């Protein structure tokens, strides 16, 4: 049996370079012009990212051993599952701001790029805390149990940009246009606009433009959408990062599993956004997963340790069951 290869800074650099190269090809070649991403294309990209993740897991076996490969797979499944819930929130954001379909990929691209940076910082901070204070794992476990129970019983439907502090700051200190300008985040205004910060449109609170002079550079509504997507991912990361620390504390495994899940989020959005009805029980499955991981972390206080293989089986079983129940319920309603 070969000895495990030590993870060096060059492994980190090589992985990051590969990710940046893929992203550059995505935006600069495959999606250079704004266009609608069709379902078949989204399926193809989703399959590609999933295949790359599986190939990476397979490559970990001779490099680091089967155990770390299983940790990667479990972490990847958890992050991907939580990303699926994030997809539906992003769909609500796009619907709220009435973002044209052809501009959605660009928002997702930059949103995911920002998410990668934020996740990297949070993973580094989390790993440093756990290395210095091992008891932080138990704090993470308790937080996951709390988050899972809250998700199970608290219904938080819809999006509320008027409550987002980053949106409030942007609108307070920066001019914001009320019109889209293609897929640009900045524009030069052509008309003078003066309006209140918020207005009621069709019984729903809606963001309105502030004072914007002719010829002034201003943020477009697409920029506000990007802020919403970034802050939404930040909220989801508060659950997902502690969850994967419940599987492993190895920084390279934590980071790579997060990255692969996030990279597949864009194409996954275009696959799942129109099929929300088939995932109605996913939220409950995810809440049970968070509770399970939290209990797993807390159980170590009493030296009760669950194997990675067992954890992978439980997580996969819960996610698959929640999706199957959702599909069965949706089909039953259609046939009724």
Report the pLDDT value the prediction gives residue 54, as an integer from 0 to 100.
95
Residue by residue, what is the 3-state secondary structure of 96-123? HHCCCHHHHHHHHHHHHHHHHHHHHHHH
Quote the tokens at residue 166. 């980053």
The confidence score (pLDDT) of residue 205 equals 43
Question: In the prediction, which pLDDT does 210 show?
Answer: 56
Distance CA 66, CA 81 (A): 22
| pLDDT for res 25 | 79
At residue 182, the pLDDT reads 82
* Helix, strand, coil percent values for the chain (each to nearest 5): 75, 5, 20
pLDDT value of position 157: 59
Domain borders along the chain are 9-335
pLDDT at position 274 is 65
The rounded average pLDDT for each run of 10 residues, N- to C-terminus, in the chain (336 residues) is 77 92 76 74 88 94 92 93 82 86 86 87 90 91 92 72 81 81 81 48 45 71 90 84 91 93 85 75 90 93 90 93 89 79
Rounded to whole angstroms, how far apart are CA atoms 2 and 151?
Answer: 44
């Amino acid at each position: 049996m070969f000895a495990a290869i030590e993870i060096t800074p060059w492994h980190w650099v090589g992985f990051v370079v590969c990710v940046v190269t893929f992203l550059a090809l995505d935006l600069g070649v495959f999606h250079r012009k704004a266009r609608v991403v069709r379902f078949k294309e989204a399926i193809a990209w989703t399959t590609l990212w999933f295949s790359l993740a599986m190939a990476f897991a397979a490559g970990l076996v001779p490099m680091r051993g089967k155990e770390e490969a299983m940790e990667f797979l479990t972490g990847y499944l958890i992050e991907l599952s939580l990303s699926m819930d994030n997809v539906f929130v992003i769909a609500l954001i796009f619907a709220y701001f009435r973002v044209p379909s052809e501009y959605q990929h660009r928002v997702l691209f930059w949103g995911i790029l920002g998410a990668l940076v934020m996740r990297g910082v949070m993973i580094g901070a989390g790993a440093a805390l756990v290395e210095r204070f091992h008891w932080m794992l138990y704090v993470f476990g308790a937080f996951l149990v709390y988050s899972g129970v809250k998700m199970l019983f608290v219904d938080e439907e819809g999006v509320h940009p008027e409550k987002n502090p980053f949106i409030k700051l942007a609108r307070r200190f920066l001019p914001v246009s009320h019109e889209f300008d293609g897929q640009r985040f900045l524009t030069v205004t052509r008309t003078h606009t003066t309006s209140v910060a918020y207005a009621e449109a069709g019984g729903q609170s809606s963001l309105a433009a502030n004072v914007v002079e002719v010829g002034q550079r201003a943020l477009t509504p697409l920029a506000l959408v990007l802020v919403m997507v970034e802050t939404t991912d930040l909220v989801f990361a508060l659950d997902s990062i502690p969850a994967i620390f419940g599987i492993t504390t190895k920084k390279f495994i934590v980071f790579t599993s997060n990255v692969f899940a996030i990279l597949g989020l864009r194409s996954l959005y275009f696959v799942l956004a129109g099929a929300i009805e088939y995932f109605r029980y996913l939220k409950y499955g995810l809440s049970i997963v968070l509770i399970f991981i939290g209990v797993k972390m807390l159980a170590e206080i009493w030296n009760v340790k669950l194997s990675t293989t067992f954890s992978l089986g439980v997580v996969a079983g819960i996610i698959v069951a929640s999706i199957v129940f959702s599909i069965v319920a949706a089909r039953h309603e259609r046939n009724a």
